Amino acid sequence: MRRFLALASLLALVGAVMVGSTSASSSRTVRVTGTEQFVPNAKIMATLRFAPGPLTVTSGVTVTWASDTLTEPHTISVVAAGDVPTSIDQIFNCPVCNAILAAHFPNGFNNPPVPVLNAGGAGLDAVGDSLLLAPGGSVSDTITAAPGSKLHYLCAIHPWMQGTITVH
């Protein structure tokens, strides 16, 4: 738990990040919202989430993730369906999350991050694609996955934040 809190405060130093461009013809917005509370020896609570979680888009659409969480950074990280945590155990021990954060911060959390990890082609289309979202910021990218595919994504910092993008 302490690791999570330290990580969150370090990531809060990350500057605003904008990626890609807004498509005039078609774009969608996902709100990144919620709160969290930690009372030592009493409670841990978080409602941080993507709203909506499931999204259905046409291939080529630009999606913007707009955060109203002013103190928390997030990531939008495409992962294999089988790597999406489904239990509290998996949330607090998430190997794919650790790998994503190591790739965003190759020189440690106190040094400038790599704001975009790109696997596959340009845009969001493959496992390994990941966008860093600064506290209170927004980030956009084009959904380039082929029609008929479904992307599973999560926040590598708060892995219960999970979404899907069904592409048609």
- Contacting positions for Cu ion (CB under 5 A): 74, 155, 157-158, 161
Residue 151 or 157: which CB sits closer to Cu ion? 157
CB of 158 to Cu ion, least distance (A): 3
| Nearest distance, CB of residue 161 and Cu ion, angstroms | 5
Q: How far is the CB of 8 from Cu ion (least distance, A)?
A: 9
In whole angstroms, how close is the CB of 149 to Cu ion at the nearest point?
Answer: 24
The 3-state secondary structure of the chain, one letter per residue: CHHHHHHHHHHCCCCCCCCCCCCCCCEEEEEEECCEEEECCCEEEECCEEECCEEEECCCCEEEEEECCCCCCEEEEEECHHHCCCCHHHHHCCHHHHHHHHHHCCCCCCCCCCCEECCCCCCECCCCCEEEECCCCEEEEEECCCCCCEEEEECCCCCCCEEEEEEC
Q: CA 160 to CA 78: how far, in whole Å?
A: 14
Q: Which is nearer to Cu ion, 28 or 158 (CB)?
A: 158
- CB nearer Cu ion, residue 52 or residue 147: 52
Count Cβ atoms below 10 Å from residue 152 Cβ, excluding itself.
Answer: 17
Nearer to Cu ion, 23 or 109 (CB): 109
**CB of 157 vs Cu ion, minimal distance in Å:** 4
Nearest residue (CB) to Cu ion, 23 versus 103: 103
